[in-house]
A and B are shown apart, each in its own frame.
Chain A
């Protein structure tokens, strides 16, 4: 038989034990604590200037050829969206063939072969928005991978292991930005990786290199002298879908609320 005194004692002890947060019993790893304070660490970031983008699509073409994405397949690691907002409040957006061939007509693609012609006088605002992988600080695509085939490198780039990927497609569903797709030849998840082979050699990504107008920039945003890092710190920039808490590292100048 349990006495009343013991019952109260054990109950209080039990409640106290439950109240201890999980973090209080985590063993602190000194090396990880040190690394988290290290500002010398490389962190790749990207800056897009939507005013400078003219929708030529040379970046998409360069990306497809550089990264061996099948040229005529309707998938791409990066793409350019066109937004046309009309005076009566309608929003039109299209990206024919991921803008691989640019935008050479003022007709907006509505899908199923339908085109919408918008008169010049009806346009309130119209602009182009290049999109690519945001290399999130908290990448949901990595979190959901059941086999550890997609991962975040030390310098913040999210890569896919083609030998390890089982093609379940969880990551494609998890990405709020829709940047992932199945590679038609490998059958594994595919995404923009900031041209990891180029940035590791000190080169710029293929899209940045191809852009004649300087609408795309890449840099190590932890470096105080880096141009991209400077602009992000000093100027007004925004990110896509901030409310998802993914901490995207592709920053935009001149975004509009209609851009999703």
Chain B
């Protein structure tokens, strides 16, 4: 055959060869078809470790109860026992090393998440004792009068 056919063909073969060589170095060995087959399981298997080793921040109330046993046991006597410590005190992460002190959310908005009354009968929201935030002491922090660890109205400060 004439060289004007062969020359571009050599160029194409060369480019394909370069791509294949580069691919060997770029694509990790764990990349390929795995358990779920080609359609759903074509991926880099080692990436699963990235997600398995992701940092846990919320440690749950069980992590708090040994050191803060007095606060833990007192809140357990109240209806607020169902609320995890970290929902108001923030994620523990590696407390007490990091962070040494947790930033407590004492805002009015935090209480209103549940205690702003909404008349939604198909939700248990309507069963929670609530207030109208526009009428019930607007602008004042709830914790000035109410103690979230002793929420009953009888123990108002």
Binding site for B on A (CB under 8 A): 32, 35, 50-58, 61-62, 65-67, 84, 101-106, 120, 123, 125-128, 138-139, 142-143, 148-154, 159, 161-164, 193, 196-198, 200-201, 203-204, 206, 209-210, 212-213, 254, 256
Complex: A65 Cα to B93 Cα, angstroms: 10
Find out whether the CB atom of B120 lies under 8 angstroms from the CB atom of A203: no
Residues B118 and A197 in contact, CB atoms below 8 Å apart: no
B55: chain A residues at CB < 8 Å are: 197
The total of chain B residues at the interface (CB under 8 A) is 45
Contacts of A161 in B (CB 8 A): 43-44, 47, 50
15 pairs of residues in contact across A and B, judged by CB atoms under 8 Å: A50-B122, A66-B56, A66-B57, A84-B120, A103-B113, A123-B119, A123-B120, A127-B123, A148-B43, A152-B41, A154-B36, A197-B51, A197-B56, A213-B124, A256-B122
C-alpha spacing A151/B45, complex, angstroms: 9
Task: Report A-chain residues with C-beta under 8 Å of the C-beta of B113.
Answer: 55-58, 101-104
A164 and B56 alpha carbons, distance in the complex (Å): 23
> A-contacting residues of B (Cβ < 8 Å)?
31, 34-37, 39-44, 47-48, 50-58, 60, 82-84, 86-87, 90-91, 109, 112-114, 116, 118-125, 128, 133
| Given A105-B116, A126-B120, A153 contacting B48 (CB threshold 8 A) | yes
Determine whether the beta carbon of B35 is less than 8 Å from that of A65: no
- Minimum C-beta distance from A201 to chain B (A): 7
Chain B contacts for A150, CB-based, 8 A: 43
Complex CA–CA separation, A256 to B50 (angstroms): 38
Is B52 within 8 A of A200, CB to CB?
yes
* Among candidates A103, A128, A209, residue contacting B84 with C-beta atoms closer than 8 Å: A209
Q: Which A residue's beta carbon lies closest to that of B81?
A: A212
Whether B43 and A104, one on each chain, are in contact in the complex, defined by CB atoms closer than 8 angstroms, is no
In the bound complex, CA of A127 to CA of B122 (Å): 5
CA distance A138 to B40 in the complex (A): 8
Partner of A212, one of B56, B87, B109: B87
- CA of A163 to CA of B95 in the docked complex: distance in angstroms? 30
Of B31, B86, B90, B123, the most chain A CB neighbours within 10 A belong to B123
Task: Flag if B120 contacts A154 (CB, 8 Å).
Answer: no
